[in-house]
Structure 1
């Protein structure tokens, strides 16, 4: 049998999980109702020229997360409405947004900004990505915690132990305590699963070698458990007699040179400065090429002249390229409203 508490869950997981769940719920609760409202409006939109948009403002965080809010006041079929609207989307934009007040022809109490309808799919995708990432992180963390709990329960029962080398991926010393993260990806099952353990004061992992600059230590599979258990250098984590420990450690220590290897941080030699600069330059070139290709696709092939953030890219292009791009868009959408970057002084017609 193995000692209790030889596999642990990082304390940060117990603090991070409620925060991630709260963020996921907050994103869904704050954005989903507005998206559902605007989806309903988009089925039968009615633009109100006489409507009043007050206190409208947009703010951008992290360079592309844009939040716009406004107070809407309008009258329809003899009834007056007051609504507060807030929308969030991803956009690379410079300058102001031109927007109108739009209501649902079927449900006149539902009102929004035309900007919200233009960015509807942008908002849907943004919310879906946030919820998927945050929700996925929550599920993965819950699964990891439950797996550790299940393994700890299985370790209380006697089972055959199968030795396996594992890679030490990280470790931290705090006072006399040592915490280690290790992964099963060297031999045997090679599950790739990572586990976390805390050693008692004075204990060290049984390091048997190194691979690719990282320490390799000895662990054991306890029956069919999902995670291996990292052993200490004196095998105190295994329930056995002193004579049994000595008989097992003797040949192992002889092979290791008489004493266990210490767990020390391995320095890694990084690439040269010129190599790093070359990589940065290549990334910049690829980024510029991707942006330019996206812009060319927008002005020549996009299904809508209001595709975002492509219309903002077109607006930021040098005058000759912007003029050419607007000409290409006008050939396909000349009978419709001009997008941002191609509008005349009235912000509606083509320049």
Structure 2
């Protein structure tokens, strides 16, 4: 009988003959995660930033309307898309906002339009302002997790490329 260390065959990463396919899927995953990160930065982050700017001075606005609003929940993550409009003497201000926040909630969400009188273009809702810290932390965690996954995938791609037999490096 031989010792267990003598029987073990050396392992190589990535598996021989599948290197190009593994590289393709890693790059595809990086692109998909990058698109999700970009979507967070384009659709969700601006509403969080503007809500921080008006959080202390926003007031309920009678002339404002929520023309479209939809919230969906996936386990403990809630995503709300709203279209807000505010009639002003200079014209109507319309703004689409996207809220992403965490928590356990059963039932419907309610929202009322709010705005800073000095900056009516940053119209928001009491729902968004009430959950501002939650939205900020949720967005930060999601964006950090996506960035970490992207960096981890790229690091593994580089590491596996160097470990592959027959590659110079």
**TM-score band, normalised by the shorter chain?**
0.7 to 0.9
Match of 1:217 in 2: none
Match of 2:117 in 1: 105
- Summarize the alignment of residues 235-254 of structure 1 with structure 2, pairs less than 5 Å apart: none
Structure 2 residue 47 is matched with structure 1 residue 34: yes
How many residue pairs are counted as aligned between the two chains? 150
- Cα deviations across residues 173-226 of structure 1 (Å, max 9, x unaligned)? xxxxxxxxxxxxxxxxxxxxxxxxxxxxxxxxxxxxxxxxxxxxxxxxxxxxxx
Shift of 1:144: 1.6
Distance 1:89 1:56 in 2: 16
Shift of 1:35: 1.0
Which range moved further: 106-115 or 45-54?
A: 45-54
Question: Cα 1:83–1:27, aligned 2, differ >3 Å: closer, same or farther?
Answer: closer
Kept in 2, the 8 Å contact 1:28–1:127? The answer is no
Distance 1:57 1:151 in 2: 49
Kept in 2, the 8 Å contact 1:41–1:105? The answer is no
- Summarize the alignment of residues 93-242 of structure 1 with structure 2, pairs less than 5 Å apart: 93-152=105-164
Equivalent in 62, 71, 84 of residue 72 of structure 1? 84
SS in 2 for 1:123: helix
Question: Cα 1:52–1:146, aligned 2, differ >3 Å: closer, same or farther?
Answer: same
> Does 1 or 2 have the higher relative contact order (CA < 8 Å, sep 6+)?
2
Distance 1:32 1:101 in 2: 19
Distance 2:120 2:106 in 1: 32
Shift of 1:145: 1.5
- Summarize the alignment of residues 254-333 of structure 1 with structure 2, pairs less than 5 Å apart: none
Q: CA RMSD in A?
A: 2.6
Distance 2:153 2:114 in 1: 42
Distance 1:45 1:112 in 2: 8
Shift of 1:142: 0.9
SS in 1 for 2:83: strand
Normalising by structure 2, report the TM-score: 0.74
Distance 2:128 2:68 in 1: 16
Shift of 1:102: 0.8
Name stretches of at least 5 consecutive residues in structure 1 with no aligned partner. Answer: 1-5, 158-351
**Larger Rg over CA atoms:** 1
Distance 2:31 2:85 in 1: 39
SS in 1 for 2:119: coil
Question: Cα 1:86–1:148, aligned 2, differ >3 Å: closer, same or farther?
Answer: closer
Distance 2:168 2:127 in 1: 61
Name stretches of at least 5 consecutive residues in structure 2 with no aligned partner. Answer: 1-11
Match of 2:68 in 1: 55
Kept in 2, the 8 Å contact 1:53–1:72? The answer is yes
Distance 1:59 1:86 in 2: 11
SS in 2 for 1:110: strand
The structure with more helix, counted as a fraction of residues: 2
Match of 1:18 in 2: 31
